[in-house]
Structure 1
């Protein structure tokens, strides 16, 4: 997949992914005024124009990236796993399918997207990704 920000200063290449997930957490909604339309890419993300990326550490485990010229939201980066969750809007020609939604317990009532997608609460997400002892 190939995508770019609004102004074209940052381009991204990644292996094709056909699924998109939504994150309804309060932080994602504050960042974009809606859920993050997330494309999970485990490895092989290549950014061109990296000098135009501003990174904001939004938690102890993640940072968010955006184009410093046009403000386009580029990614959510899970630091410990070095995993990128890319904004689906970077790839307007991809045929994504909405398959899952997380932090549904924080989703406001004024929108509903895919009633048949797999849904998890914030607690369920944290339990799934908690370190195994």
Structure 2
């Protein structure tokens, strides 16, 4: 987001997925995460990265300046790093090959095609019912 961290890759993509697992939902505060699996040794980073160990052996990298989530890596896949597709130069060109952890998929995503779409905020904030916060 702030440009303090960048990455390049000299290898092939090993995974190209949209993940709906509950861990990704909590870690990104989003209904799903799109990522590219890359061989760790083929990825070069510039800038400072801070890591958070979200579960034993699983680390999530982020920019300490703006907090942008960059990737996750896990001891379960020691030779891979899973870079968030939103960090691509043109994330709109991202084309996933599959979706995983479908049982955790947010049910409201099914409604999106029928929800009105706008180019920006369409109106002043409305008074909506109070929603209980999620405990993380």
TM-score, length-scaled by structure 1: 0.70
Judged with a 3 Å threshold, the aligned counterparts in structure 2 of structure 1 residues 18 and 64 are, in CA distance, closer, same or farther, namely: closer
Runs of 5+ in structure 1 lacking a partner?
Answer: 1-5, 113-133
Question: What are the within-5 Å matches in structure 2 for residues 48-63 of structure 1?
Answer: 48-49=46-47, 52-63=48-59
Alpha-carbon deviations, 1:72-103, whole Å to 9, x = none? 11001123514110010111426332211111
Unmatched 5+ residue regions in structure 2? 111-136
3-state SS of 2:107 partner: coil
| Equivalent residue, structure 1, for 2:72 | 76
Q: Could you give the per-residue CA deviations for residues 37-91 of structure 1, whole angstroms, max 9, x where no partner exists? A: 1111023111111xx3110111223110110111111001123514110010111
**Which of 102, 105, 109 is the equivalent residue of 1:104?**
102
The reply to whether residue 64 of structure 1 matches residue 70 of structure 2 is no
Contact between 2:20 and 2:102, CA under 8 Å: does it hold in 1? yes
Bigger-Rg structure (1/2): 2
Name the Cα RMSD after superposition: 2.0
2:24 aligns to what SS in structure 1?
Answer: helix
